[in-house]
Amino acid sequence: MPTRGWVTARSGRQAKRLLLLKHRKAAGLVFFTLTVCPLVARSQTAAQSPSTQPQYQSTTQSSGTSILLQSQSPFQGSVPAGKASPETLALTFADAINRGLQNNLGLLLSGDNTLSARGQRWKELSNLLPNITTTTLEAMQETSLAALGLKNALAVPGVQLPNVVGPFNYFDTRIFLHQSVLNLNYLEKERGAAFNVQSAQHNYRDARELVVLAVGNGYLQALAGGARVDTARAQVDTAQALYNKAVDQQKAGVSPAIDTLRAQVELQTRQQQLIVARNDFAKQKLGLGRIIGLPSAQEFTLAEKAPYEPLTPMSLEQSVQRALSLRSDYKALQAQVRAAEWSRRAATAEYFPTLDFSANYGAIGVSPRSTDTTYQLTGSINIPLFQGGKVHGEVLQSEATLRQARSQLDNLGAQIEYEVRTSLLDLNAAAEQVEVARSSVDLAQQTLTQAQDRFAAGVTDNLEVIQAQEALASANENYISSLYAHNLAKVQFARATGFAEEGVKQYLRGKP
């Protein structure tokens, strides 16, 4: 009966560990849902009004645990570059970032948005530039006087007019010019489109920051996964040694069979954990490869280990000021507000008169060899008198868009300060957790050593050793998780202050 109860307790601890592993595997999904996806919507605003930004929604389902569902973030994908090589690639952190900045899907899409915004500006600019066309035509035709009602109108007494006249030739070649001389609507639309281009360019730079954030998270996750594999392998070796010793002592008659059974259960548990850790690590490497554009079949190793360097960041006030001056998403939304202001002016300008000029010059005659030169110059002023409320409706719509853009800008400023504050809190808390976790590993290792010595001396059974192994495994997991959280907090702080692309490499080495 005591053995059965002990096995039941062990099963409960195994269930808890499996649940922790599931939660750990979901950490990447939660990270992209809570950190990257809300930023993706802001990075896609180029050539779009604030009211038409793409939204990334998440829902929750409850089945014993909360499951987070989301739209696939483009920053989790990439366009694979090249083909897989037979050599194993040694991938450094800097190499991963550089590959992500070349192949990540989110960045490529942002570049296309910039190109689209430039195209829209050229369309608006074309309304202000001269439009020149040329047309050449030559026709041979017959005309029915009866059908046109001209036969009776042109009737002459004693003269019989034919029903159809012709054929006769007609030739005309001409160049046409149209120029808008004064049109405030066109002018202010072009100015708004220019600010949309600036917004798209800032969004592109912000997308580069998001790529660094995504690659940094993926690389750090893979490093943590590799550390868990190494830890699980070491725990298997320790459990194997304990099992071998229990078997030897049982054969020698100095240890009961229950000790051997406990050691065997412990060994199999550690073997299961090693299998899970290897599988998770392989999938984390695949996920990192997807972010940076490596072919799926490309084998690679992580050339760096998870670093731990304490970081003393700048003060909160300096961090917030730096973020507001450097964050590209904030600059993009500022440009979007200016574009909305010019769009509002353009809508109001439709109430004003416009002045146009047009001209044509060419040759006309019965054939190309028999022509006369003609031209026409036309100037026109158009004064809108009543347009049925169309302009009023456009003014209202543009005013609503402008208000939305201003509200979003104010909200983003507050959001940036919130992100800086939370990243600083996470950074400080993670640093403290690393110190505590490191001390816990040392203490747990000493406890295991003493328990093994006591078991070898016959002072106690191996239950004490197994409990010490459990404590060491938990301490190692806490250390790996806290180290991952500390390095990720550095990456998030660099992103929050608008310094990710240049600052991540410095922060991971403890340089502010």
**pLDDT digit string, tens, across residues 216-240:** 999 999 999 999 999 999 999 999 9
Question: pTM of whole model > 0.85?
Answer: no
Q: What is the pLDDT of residue 80?
A: 92
In a domain, 70, yes or no: yes
Q: How confident is the model at residue 61 (pLDDT cuts 50, 70, 90)?
A: very low
Asked if residue 368 lies in contact with residue 138, where contact means CB atoms within 8 angstroms, the answer is: yes
Percent of the chain surpassing pLDDT 70: 83
Instruction: Tell whether the model's pLDDT for residue 40 goes beyond 60.
Output: no
Instruction: Point out which residues pair with 179 in neighbouring strands.
Output: 357
Query: Is residue 33 one of the residues assigned to a domain?
Result: no
β-pair type (58-62, 66-70): antiparallel
Average pLDDT over residues 107-132: 95
* 313 closest CA partner among 199, 398, 421: 421
Alpha helices in 349-389 (DSSP H): none
The answer to whether position 16 is within a domain reads: no
The answer on pLDDT for 379 being more than 80 is yes
Least confident of 144-153, 248-257, 345-354: 144-153
pLDDT band at 462 (very low <50, low <70, confident <90, very high): confident
Q: List pLDDT tens digits, range 152-211.
A: 666 667 667 777 877 888 899 999 999 999 999 999 999 999 999 999 999 999 999 999
Residue 401 confidence (pLDDT): 95
Q: For 192, what's the count of Cα atoms within 13 Å in the CB-facing half-sphere?
A: 24
Whether 481 shows a pLDDT value over 80: the answer reads yes
Quote the mean pLDDT of the chain: 84
Hey, is 251 helix, strand or coil? helix
Q: State whether residue 347 is helix, strand or coil.
A: helix
Whole-number pLDDT of residue 153: 65
Domains held by the chain: number: 1
For residue 267, the domain's CATH number is 1.20.1600.10
Give the C-alpha separation, 481 to 478, whole Å.
5
Asked, for residue 58, whether it belongs to a domain, the answer is yes
The answer to whether residue 184 sits within a structural domain is: yes
Q: What is the mean pLDDT of residues 64-86?
A: 71
pLDDT at res. 204: 96
How far from 323 is each of 32, 405, 505, CA to CA, in Å? 21, 20, 18
Q: What spatial distance separates the first Cα and last Cα of the chain, rounded to whole Å? A: 60
H/E stretch holding 400 reads helix 390-456
- 22 within domain boundaries: no
| Residue 102 belongs to some domain of the structure | yes
For helices 500-507 and 463-496, give the axis angle rounded to 10 degrees: 140
Other CB atoms within 10 Å distance of the CB of residue 446 = 12
pLDDT given at position 511:
54
Q: Which of 2-11, 33-42, 324-333 has the lowest mean pLDDT?
A: 2-11
Residue 5 lies in a domain: no
Asked whether the beta carbons of 310 and 156 are under 8 A apart, the reply is no
Lowest mean pLDDT among 9-23, 257-271, 344-358, 439-453: 9-23
Overall residue count recorded for the chain in this entry: 512
Which is higher by pLDDT, 43 or 226? 226
Work out the pLDDT band at 460, boundaries 50, 70, 90: confident
For residue 152, the model assigns a pLDDT of 66
pLDDT score of 316 more than 80: yes
457 SS3 class: coil
Q: Hey, what are 495's tokens?
A: 């992103």
Distance CA 431, CA 437 (A): 10
**Which residue range forms the structural domain that includes residue 123?**
39-74+92-305+313-507
Instruction: Judge whether residue 122 has pLDDT over 90.
Output: yes
